[in-house]
Amino acid sequence: FKKHTGEVVPLPTAVPGNTPIYQTASATGNRTLWVVFVIMLISSLAFYIMAFRVPVQKRLFHILTAFITTFATISYYAMAVGDGVGKNKITIKHTQKHFPDTYDVIYREVYWARYVDWSVTTPLLLLDLCFLAGVNGASILVAIVADIIMILTGLFAAFTVDESPKWGWYAMACIAYLVIIYQLAINGRQTAMQKDNKTATFFAAIGGFTLVLWTVYPIIWGIADGSRNINVDSEIIAYAVLDILAKPVFGFWLLFTHDAMSNSASIDGFWANGLGKEG
Ligand code: RET
Atom of ligand 1 nearest to the CA of 221: 18
Q: Is residue 104 a contact partner of residue 21, using CB atoms and an 8 Å limit?
A: yes
Residue type, 170: Y
Query: Residues of the chain whose pLDDT is less than 70?
Result: 1-18, 262-279
Q: Encode pLDDT of 136-186 as tens digits.
A: 999 999 999 999 999 999 999 999 988 889 999 999 999 999 999 999 999
For ligand 1, is residue 214 a contact (CB within 6 Å)?
A: yes
pLDDT number for residue 143: 97
pLDDT number for residue 266: 53
With the most atoms of ligand 1 within 8 angstroms of its CB, the residue from 112, 214, 239 to mutate is 214
Cα of 14 vs centre of ligand 1, distance in Å, is 32
pLDDT number for residue 276: 36
Interface predicted TM-score (ipTM) of this complex, two decimals: 0.98
With the most atoms of ligand 1 within 8 angstroms of its CB, the residue from 147, 221, 223 to mutate is 221
Q: Which domains does the chain have, with CATH numbers?
A: 21-265 (1.20.1070.10)
Q: How far is CA 250 from CA 124, 132, 153, 224, in A?
A: 12, 13, 25, 24
pLDDT number for residue 230: 93
